[in-house]
């Protein structure tokens, strides 16, 4: 059943060798909670291309250095002493540390300080304030070319020009929200404002959630605890209504796009045409199975035409804007999963498909830009679902070239000319390395080498491999051996799981994607196993859609493929199998504890979805439809219906202010367990949201580790 890939064999060999030569240090809980900067991967501060040049800059010890990409000549561009001298000459207070600087050219950069935006001329030593915003401003959107800033105060939208503030919306009702993200940050939506190319107009979301249910979150830090309500549209209930406004800075007037259709449809992929005359947006119905890409007149809001439509019997999930070709503003690239995998398609603005640019049983994960007249760069899983490499493709001949020489997980920063690439990557042998490449992928120099962050620590051997589901589906897996593994002993195993969409746990990256806490647990004498089941990311549409209307079924079956494999290993104690996960992983952990109660002895579930009817509209209805249209699916997925099957030791953990998976989920499970006479354990983190962050993370990790130590 198990088939080791060539990469996995290499990873196994290298990690085994690494373990044998490592020092005697063992990870601590403090290390595992990211409180030891000495074991952070290598980092280059403020690394950026300088304007349109082929020179890049980086920060070191309160100084900025410039490096020519072609020859590697390095010169000091600016240091803190020089900047402080210029600040004082311009009657501004000096700084203790260099701020984050953004270079538009070799001579000019911008920086922010206490809500003020400055332009700094290195040639004239002049530092001038170009704009400012209030300290309470949120959702800040800075337009680089004009220096104008959009921002929000409470539920209204403002613009600042040359330090002068203008209020754009006048809504007194807090249920009308302007300039903020909508649809609970689904569909790739990360902002609520969209500047036109010249900065003369601003498109913005207007969200009417007056009919959306208020959900109570309780703040206990007042003598009389206070309710802090959040708008939370649960699956099947009344959702928000979104519209798109366009504010004209010259006329001072706002128009709204005539996005006809149901009021609770989704508006996403908002994109300005290069000339600023038209706005394009995708209209997606609430069922999320029918998309229209529409074109609108940005001056009047009038509908111009539907460029094309996409339908799928399960769902369509637009997550990217339009990417316009600077050499031909009538052409753009569109992401689509229509053939089963996310690929790039070239259209014109009349809606005519010119060509499909990429194809195959692999996924394009990111578009990186147009370069050198007819070339684009993108990130994809073409070599392996475990990897993310950088590729270039010619729009003329369609030839694809891989430009990241090392296997692994890559991030690229490409010079304006497209001639040079700063490649930041990690893989199973490398925690992080920065390299300079040419456009063909040849390494010109190492900007910052991997520092082998854990070279002094004992780590367990790590294997990446694939298993086969009964129908032949490949399931990628990771196994971390206990430190000082002895094949003659029997060890407990902890299955670490997520299992839901938009996440991939097993990757060709540092530690195989495992992180430090799982390696800490391995140092405590556990095997740590992870499998990416159907429903998880970067394996294509059908792999993800396998969970549609039936969450918690195929995922559990796939996880049991991994468990069945573990049971074949002579050094696994099959009577001591635990499981741990958060969010969708909390749902999976609880599912395994109640649906496979004879297998799992101990479980720790954080922020778990317990019943999908208590989850929000946008995500929940995509994968489960509504409770009214899919009652059997909701019933089958609800873990409240399986509480009486719980036999092992289960710890549920929840943040009391969780706005994503509301506290009600785990409380309902706890209530049902009490009613059923089932003993379980429960832990809350007051004031925390969907996760436990900051110093309290150490407390959480200690709690989890102790729970497994006592019970497994």
Residues with a catalytic annotation lie at 583, 658, 690
- Cross-strand bridge partners of residue 294: 281, 306
Q: What residues contact 353, with CB distance under 8 A and at least 6 apart? A: 308, 345, 346, 347
Rounded Cα–Cα distance for residues 208 and 607 (Å): 28
State the first-to-last Cα distance of the chain, in angstroms, to the nearest integer: 27
Integer angstrom CA distances of residue 232 from 184, 450, 660: 9, 44, 9
Rounded Cα–Cα distance for residues 249 and 668 (Å): 51
CA 312 to mean position of chain CA atoms = 25
Pairing of strands 375-380, 364-371: antiparallel
Task: Please provide the size of the chain in residues.
Answer: 712
Phi, psi (deg, nearest 5) at residue 697 = -60, -35
Q: How many CA atoms lie within 13 A of 150 on its CB side?
A: 27
Rounded Cα–Cα distance for residues 706 and 10 (Å): 34
DSSP code of 581? Answer: E
Rounded Cα–Cα distance for residues 50 and 77 (Å): 11
Rounded Cα–Cα distance for residues 170 and 155 (Å): 9
DSSP code of 533? Answer: -
3-state secondary structure of 143: coil
Please check whether residue 178 is in contact with residue 155, taking contact to mean a CB–CB distance below 8 angstroms: yes
Rounded Cα–Cα distance for residues 674 and 689 (Å): 25
C-beta atoms surrounding 489 within 10 Å: 11
What ranges make up the beta strands (E) of 88-125?
102-103, 108-113, 116-121
Phi, psi (deg, nearest 5) at residue 710 = -75, -35
Q: What residues contact 155, with CB distance under 8 A and at least 6 apart? A: 171, 173, 174, 175, 176, 177, 178, 180
Rounded Cα–Cα distance for residues 412 and 418 (Å): 11
What ranges make up the beta strands (E) of 184-264?
193-195, 201-208, 214-219, 226-231, 241-248, 253-256
Integer angstrom CA distances of residue 594 from 390, 589, 637: 42, 9, 12
Rounded Cα–Cα distance for residues 69 and 46 (Å): 16
Q: What angle do CA 449, 453, 457 make, to 5 degrees?
A: 145
Please check whether residue 278 is in contact with residue 296, taking contact to mean a CB–CB distance below 8 angstroms: yes
User: Which tokens sit at 77?
Assistant: 């561009």
Rounded Cα–Cα distance for residues 126 and 345 (Å): 46
Rounded Cα–Cα distance for residues 680 and 650 (Å): 5
Rounded Cα–Cα distance for residues 538 and 660 (Å): 23
Rounded Cα–Cα distance for residues 425 and 413 (Å): 11
Please check whether residue 533 is in contact with residue 503, taking contact to mean a CB–CB distance below 8 angstroms: no
């Amino acid at each position: 059943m198990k088939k080791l890939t060539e990469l996995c064999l290499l990873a196994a060999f290298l990690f085994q060798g690494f373990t044998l030569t490592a020092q005697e240090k063992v990870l601590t809980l403090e290390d595992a909670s990211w409180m030891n900067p000495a074991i952070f991967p290598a980092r280059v501060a403020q690394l950026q291309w300088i304007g349109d040049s082929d020179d890049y800059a980086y920060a070191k010890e309160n100084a900025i250095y410039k490096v020519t990409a072609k020859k590697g000549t390095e010169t000091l561009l600016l240091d803190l002493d020089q900047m402080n001298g210029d600040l004082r000459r311009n009657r501004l207070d000096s700084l203790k540390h260099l701020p984050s600087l953004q270079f538009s050219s070799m001579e000019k950069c911008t920086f922010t300080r206490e809500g003020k935006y400055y332009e700094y001329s290195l040639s004239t030593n002049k530092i001038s304030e170009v704009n400012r915003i209030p300290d309470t401003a949120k959702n800040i959107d800075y337009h680089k070319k004009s220096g104008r800033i959009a921002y929000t105060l409470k539920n209204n939208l403002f613009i600042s020009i040359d330090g002068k503030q203008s209020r754009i919306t006048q809504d007194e009702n807090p249920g009308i929200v302007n300039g903020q993200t909508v649809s609970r940050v689904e569909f790739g939506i990360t902002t609520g404002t969209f500047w036109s190319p010249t900065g003369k107009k601003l498109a913005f979301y207007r969200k009417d959630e007056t009919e959306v249910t208020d959900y109570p979150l309780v703040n206990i830090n007042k003598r009389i605890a206070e309710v802090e309500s959040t708008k939370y549209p649960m699956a099947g209930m009344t959702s928000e209504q979104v519209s798109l406004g366009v504010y004209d800075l010259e006329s001072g007037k706002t128009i709204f796009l005539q996005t006809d259709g149901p009021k609770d449809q989704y508006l996403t992929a908002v994109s300005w045409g290069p000339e600023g005359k038209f706005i394009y947006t995708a209209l997606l119905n609430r069922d999320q199975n029918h998309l229209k890409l529409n074109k609108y007149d940005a001056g009047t809001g009038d509908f111009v035409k539907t460029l094309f439509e996409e339908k799928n019997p399960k769902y369509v999930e637009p997550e990217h804007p339009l990417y316009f070709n600077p050499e031909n503003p009538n052409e753009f690239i569109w992401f689509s999963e229509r053939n089963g995998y996310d690929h790039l398609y070239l259209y014109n603005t009349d809606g005519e498909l010119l060509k499909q640019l990429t194809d195959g049983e692999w996924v394009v994960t990111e578009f990186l830009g147009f370069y050198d007249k007819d070339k684009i760069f993108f990130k994809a899983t073409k070599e392996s679902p475990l990897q993310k490499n950088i590729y270039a493709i010619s729009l003329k001949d369609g030839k694809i070239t891989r430009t990241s020489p090392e296997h692994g997980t890559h991030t690229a920063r490409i010079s304006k000319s497209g001639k040079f690439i700063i490649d930041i990557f990690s893989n199973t042998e490398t925690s992080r390395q920065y390299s300079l490449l040419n456009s063909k992928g040849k390494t010109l120099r190492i900007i910052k080498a991997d520092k082998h962050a854990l070279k002094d620590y004992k780590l367990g051997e790590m294997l990446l491999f694939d298993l086969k589901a009964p129908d032949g589906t490949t399931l990628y897996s990771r196994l971390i051996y206990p430190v000082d593994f002895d094949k003659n002993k029997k060890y407990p195993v902890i299955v670490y799981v997520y299992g839901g969409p938009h996440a991939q746990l097993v990757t060709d990256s540092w530690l195989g994607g495992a992180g430090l806490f799982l390696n800490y647990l391995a140092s405590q004498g556990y095997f740590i196993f992870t499998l990416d089941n159907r429903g998880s990311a970067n394996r294509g549409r059908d792999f993800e859609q396998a969970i549609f209307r039936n969450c918690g079924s195929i995922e559990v079956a796939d996880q049991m493929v991994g468990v069945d494999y573990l049971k074949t290993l002579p050094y696994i104690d099959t009577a001591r199998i635990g499981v741990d996960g958060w969010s969708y992983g909390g749902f999976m952990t609880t599912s395994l504890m109640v649906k496979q109660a004879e297998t799992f002895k101990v479980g720790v579930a954080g922020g778990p979805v317990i019943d999908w009817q208590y989850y929000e509209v946008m995500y929940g209805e995509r994968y489960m439809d509504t409770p009214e249209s899919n009652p059997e699916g909701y019933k089958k997925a609800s873990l409240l219906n399986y509480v009486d099957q719980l036999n092992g030791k289960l710890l549920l953990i929840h943040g009391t202010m969780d706005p994503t998976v509301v506290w009600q989920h785990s409380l309902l499970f706890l209530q049902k367990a009490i009613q059923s006479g089932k003993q379980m354990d429960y832990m809350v983190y007051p004031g925390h949201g969907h996760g436990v962050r900051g110093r309290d993370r150490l407390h959480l990790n200690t709690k989890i580790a102790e729970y497994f130590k006592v019970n497994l």
